[in-house]
Chain A
Amino acid sequence: MSLKSERRGIHVDQSELLCKKGCGYYGNPAWQGFCSKCWREEYHKARQKQIQDDWELAERLQREEEEAYASSQSTQGAQSLTFSKFEEKKTNEKTRKVTTVKKFFSASSRTGAKKAEIHEAKAPSPSINRQVSIETDRASKEFIEFLKTYQKSGQDIYKQCKMFLEAMHHKRELSIEEQSECAQDFYQNVAEKLQTRWKVSPEKVEKAMDQIEKYIMTRLYKYVFCPETTDDEKKDLVVQKRIRALHWVTPQMLCVPVNEEIPEVSDMVVKAITDIIEMDSKRVPRDKLACITQCSKHIFNAIKITKNEPASADDFLPTLIYIVLKGNPPRLQSNIQYITRFCNPSRLMTGEDGYYFTNLCCAVAFIEKLDAQSLNLSQEDFDRYMSGQTSPKKQESENWSSDVCLGVKQMYKNLDLLSQLNERQERIVSEAKKLEKDLIDWTDGITKEVQDIVEKYPLEIKPKNQPLAAIDSENVENDKLPPPLQPQVYAG
């Protein structure tokens, strides 16, 4: 490596370019210095040996597993024991992988180097691994608990699953499509065996299949979700970017029959978006499907409240598209691919979950292909919106019908309300001031009036006995009264 970094430009030793095996053809660093033919031979040998080793290990593990399962039904101790071995092997494989990944990418592309770094960062942190193993551990405990209800056939199921996981472990180098095929075959075989050999009732088969899926996919998730061998990640980014570029699409353009002005409806819309985003956090395909179904139910409710009648597919699909555009759920393509590859197919093809999943696939396909025609826009308008020159919301910002963020809408409404309140308060204050002035004026007026009156009619205070005399004098003044009776004396 250090040699390489010293040498700059295109000066390369001729011998270094040739195949290491000396067959005369040119070698390639990606094939560890071999030519393609020799590399294939070498690689094949190495792989054969690896497979041989893995077989032996698998057989040993299998034996231990069976013993452990037979000895203790709870298998807690045994579980962790075999598990640590499992883990050990996993890390071995990982370190091996890291070096190859580095070799592949360090010289050629930057993204590759980044990926290798991520790998490296992952490998030495045991805490992450531990975290994962706790989750998988819990899943397997639950699985074993569940299988107890199936008595004898439960053991067989467990064995089959273990065997499958081992087989998948060796198939890690295969393309994801082949791995997916293995998983699908496994589902089919187990379901058939449950039905025909172990005579389990159809409902119980369904239940068992769900549990089996949960158990194996919790374990495989790490390796088969958005694997590096595919371009799932790239597709994720493309869709994400596409949805961002389409931020201007309004519900009207899509003919979405949902009125978000109604608080209950906007509630439902928010819930639907939350559900579809949550899908990414689940590990088991069935749990991911459940998120999509939940999201769809909320959409149906939103339509039902708006339209007051049950929704049809003509209402549902546009609304789902709108929700996906609004939510921009993370790793959309990876999730869809993962579900398609590793979900129990009978569920995916026919049932209700399958229906909603198909609609989601459709929504994503629509978003990818979306053009002016599909939104009933002219090509010029579409181009202008896409390039960001204009935005349809500016033209109709007055009535808020565009897809302004709900929060912003609410904010503007609140601001409106506040300014109204402010106005009213000002009016109240001015009225109050007027009232105060009126009150002051009134008191002043009264005081003045009283003073005037007092001035006009000054109060004359007479001596205290005066009133009595006055009464008397009044009487005195009454001359017209007949003279008081005089005592008459009669002689006699």
Chain B
Amino acid sequence: MSGQRVDVKVVMLGKEYVGKTSLVERYVHNRFLVGPYQNTIGAAFVAKVMSVGGRTVTLGIWDTAGSERYEAMSRIYYRGARAAIVCYDLTDSSSFQRAKFWVTELQNFEENCRIYLCGTKSDLLEEDRKKRGIDFHDVQDYADEIKAELFETSSKTGQSVDELFQKVAEDYVQLMAFQVMTEGEGVDLSQKNSTYFYSCCHH
């Protein structure tokens, strides 16, 4: 059945046609896949097993509908996400404005979600530098301000695609290691829960 274990939920956000789906396609179908997963019918949900420093991590990559008519519902999608890849089209400044919208949403409603800014279609800039719609330094400043990683990728050539997802997985593993170190509080909470929970039977 479809019960593959997934460690990290990664949501893809971005305006329509910025190339969220292509990015995932490029990443997933370009590499050897570990595990018995088969998902040839759609790229909307993909589970990808990868290894980071000897550990295996399974990314569950959630594609989302970018159309403005579903904007009100986007909150349902990124609930519980540990990472969000916010995409914008490097040649289209309006798509960056929309990206900013998602960033604000994420900051307000999903604090634990790490943000990765991703400018897509960088191959178009190789052809013609004038096509760039948003200044790189502006974006870099913005990324620093929101403490996000910034990538410029091309699904056509594969530039920086693997690096982006690798970074997502690495950050997750690091975060987990950090949490193990400071677990004290977490255990405390669950203990409180369990006594509350079984109180009637222990007495």
Where the two chains meet, the residues of A that have a C-beta atom closer than 8 Å to any C-beta of B are 51, 54-55, 58-59, 62, 163, 166-167, 170, 182, 185-186, 188-189, 192, 202-203, 206, 210, 255, 290, 293, 297, 300-301, 303-304, 310-314, 316-318, 347, 349-356, 358, 361-362, 365-366, 369, 373-374
Interface hit among B64-72, B117-125, B129-137, B163-171: B64-72
Binding stretch for chain A, among B37-45, B92-100, B146-154: B37-45
Contact of B76 among A313, A351, A362 (CB under 8 A): A362
CB distance from A195 to the nearest CB of B (A): 13
CB-nearest residue of chain B to A254: B69
Which 8 pairs of residues, A with B, have the shortest CB-CB distance? A312-B21, A313-B63, A355-B45, A350-B6, A300-B42, A300-B41, A317-B65, A311-B42
Q: Are B44 and A355 touching (Cβ within 8 A)?
A: yes
**Chain A contacts for B43, CB-based, 8 A:** 310-312
**Complex formed: what's the CA distance from A91 to B40 in Å?**
51
Could you give, for residues 1-38 of chain B, a 1 whenever the CB lies within 8 Å of some chain A CB and a 0 otherwise? 11111111100100010001100010000000000000
With A206-B5, A293-B2, A369-B72 in contact, do A186 and B45 touch (Cβ < 8 Å)? no
Q: Name B5's closest neighbour in chain A (CB-CB).
A: A206
Given A185-B193, A312-B63, A352–B42 Cβ distance below 8 Å?
no
Q: How far is the CA of A310 from the CA of B44 in the complex (A)?
A: 9
Residue of B193, B197, B200 with highest tally of chain A CB at under 10 A: B200
Q: Would A366 and B3 count as touching, CB distance under 8 A?
A: no
Q: State A304–B41 Cα separation when bound (angstroms).
A: 7
Chain A residues positioned under 8 Å from B142 (CB to CB): none
What A residues does B20 contact at CB under 8 A?
A: 312-313
Bound CA–CA A215/B72 (angstroms): 37
Are A189 and B200 closer than 8 Å at their CB atoms?
no
Determine which residue in B21, B44, B60, B80 has the highest number of CB atoms from chain A within 10 A of its CB, and name it.
B44
Q: How far is the CB of B46 from chain A (nearest CB, A)?
A: 9
Residue B198 CB within 8 A of the other chain: yes
Find A312's partner among B44, B47, B73, B194 (CB 8 Å cutoff).
B44
Query: Smallest CB-CB separation from A171: which chain B residue?
Result: B200
Q: Does B181 belong to the interface (CB within 8 Å)?
A: no
When the two chains form their complex, are residues B190 and A351 in contact, meaning their CB atoms are under 8 A apart?
no
- Give every chain B residue within 8 A of A203 (Cβ-Cβ): 5
Q: Which residues of chain B come closer than 8 Å to A316, judged between CB atoms?
A: 42, 44, 65
* Known A-B contacts A189-B197, A310-B42, A312-B44; A355 and B67 likewise in contact (beta carbons under 8 Å): no
A167 & B21 in contact (Cβ 8 Å cutoff): no
Instruction: Tell me whether B2 and A353 are in contact (CB under 8 A).
Output: yes
Which residue among A186, A202, A304, A351 has the maximum number of chain B CB atoms within 10 Å of its CB? A351
Complex alpha-carbon distance, A290 and B44, angstroms: 17
Q: Establish whether residues A318 and B4, one from each chain, have CB atoms under 8 Å apart when the complex forms.
A: no
| 19 contacting pairs across A/B (C-beta < 8 A) | A163-B198, A167-B198, A182-B197, A185-B197, A189-B190, A189-B193, A203-B5, A290-B2, A301-B41, A311-B41, A313-B20, A316-B44, A350-B7, A350-B60, A350-B80, A351-B6, A355-B45, A358-B62, A373-B69
For residue A455, give the distance in angstroms from its CB to the closest CB of chain B.
87
- Which residues from A are CB-within-8-Å of B12? 313
> Least Cβ distance of A52 to chain B in Å?
10
Q: Which residue of B lies closest to A188 (CB)?
A: B190
Q: Which residues of A contact B193 (CB under 8 A)?
A: 185, 188-189
Interface residue from A54, A361, A365 paired with B72 (Cβ < 8 Å): A365
CA of A166 to CA of B197 in the docked complex: distance in angstroms? 11
Compute how far the CA of A313 lies from the CA of B43 in the bound complex, rounded to whole angstroms: 8
Cα–Cα distance between A293 and B45 once the two chains are bound (Å): 11
Q: A317 to chain B: which residues have CB within 8 Å?
A: 65, 70
Q: Which of B2, B7, B66 has the most CB of A within 10 A?
A: B2
Knowing A163-B201, A311-B44, A313-B44 touch, does A352 contact B73 (C-beta < 8 A)?
no
A310 pairs with B25, CB closer than 8 A = yes
Given the interface contacts A297-B41, A311-B42, A365-B72, does A59 sit within 8 Å of B77 by beta carbon? no
User: Closest CB-CB distance, B83 to chain A, in whole Å?
Assistant: 12
| Distance in Å: Cβ of A139 to nearest Cβ of chain B | 18
B203 interface hit (Cβ, 8 Å): yes
Specify which chain B residues have a CB less than 8 angstroms from the CB of A167 in the assembled complex: 197-198, 200-201
Q: A167-B198, A358-B76 known; 4 other A-B pairs, CB under 8 Å? A: A167-B201, A290-B1, A300-B41, A351-B47
